[in-house]
Amino acid sequence: MPVFYGTDIASRLMLGTAQYPSPAVLAEAFRRSGAGIATVSVRREAGGGQQGQDFWSLIDSLGVTLLPNTAGCHSVREAVTTAQMARELFGTNWIKLEVIGHADTLQPDPFGLVEAARILTGEGFHVFPYCTEDLVLCDRLVTAGCQVLMPWGAPIGTGLGLNNIYGLRSLRAHFPDVPLVIDAGLGLPSQAAQAMELGFDAVLLNTAVARAGDPAAMAEAFAGAVAAGALAHGADPMPPRDMAAPSTPVLGKAFLA
């Protein structure tokens, strides 16, 4: 199982807490998924009002590790301020860092992301940066103090899966000792299994579960896919080949004269 900033995580599946049709459905999805981490936006918490208190009580009842995020932040200052608020609100140094640079694709701003990561790690935060699979960007984030990387599979909420297999495979090879989490873009359990087969340590998703016709069933399906993909990667799968190879040995085969 993955280890993030010295903390053992009970599951390779991480779930977001937004967009569910009801609190009861959210709770059941987490129960059936066995997810080890829940991400939550500070905006969802809604400060100290009754709605915010009810939401916090629900999340606390899930019994999972909390990862606050800076969702929706478009500048370094906004992201840093939101992270500081999250630490006061939730009592954790963990922060999923988002600095959005493009409104249509929600692609992270690489320059702002590195700057914000450097500031926050300097303030004692354990930063989980939402990033692309760019090797140079990821190297800068590690240099800035990030001990976990969270590259996207595809733009948030699209369900397109892993758009750049070559880039993700290269990232895994380039950072063999850094925990890597596929964050965003997954729509089907098969895509999560594919990420795990590539050697990634975990996946984080929200929309694919929350917007499914049966969120709890979909959460359970993703849990099974993640476990299967991780098991397959650990089993050292056969490499692909261009030519067919018989699975039945020729030795002992009958030959007709």
- How many Cβ atoms from other residues are within 10 Å of residue 127's Cβ? 27
Q: Tell me if residue 253 is catalytic.
A: no
Give dist(CA 254, CA 251) in Å, integer. 9
Kindly tell me the number of DSSP H helices and DSSP E strands found in the chain: 10, 10
Residue 41: which of 165, 130, 146 has the closest Cα?
130
Q: 3-state class of 182 per DSSP? A: strand
Give dist(CA 16, CA 41) in Å, integer. 9
**Residues of each annotated binding site for 1-deoxy-D-xylulose 5-phosphate:** 157, 184-185, 206-207
Judge contact between 25 and 216, C-beta under 8 A.
Answer: yes
Positive or negative CA dihedral for 159, 165, 168, 172?
Answer: positive
Q: In sequence order, what are the beta bridge partners of 66?
A: 38
**Residues of each annotated binding site:** 157, 184-185, 206-207
**Half-sphere exposure of residue 242, counting CA atoms within 13 Å on the CB side?**
0
Amino acid at 95: I
Q: What is the DSSP secondary-structure string of 60-113?
A: HHTT-EEEEE-TT--SHHHHHHHHHHHHHHH--SEEEE--B--TTT--B-HHHH
Out of 32, 44, 87, 96, pick the active-site residue. Answer: 96
Residues annotated as catalytic (active site), given as ranges: 96
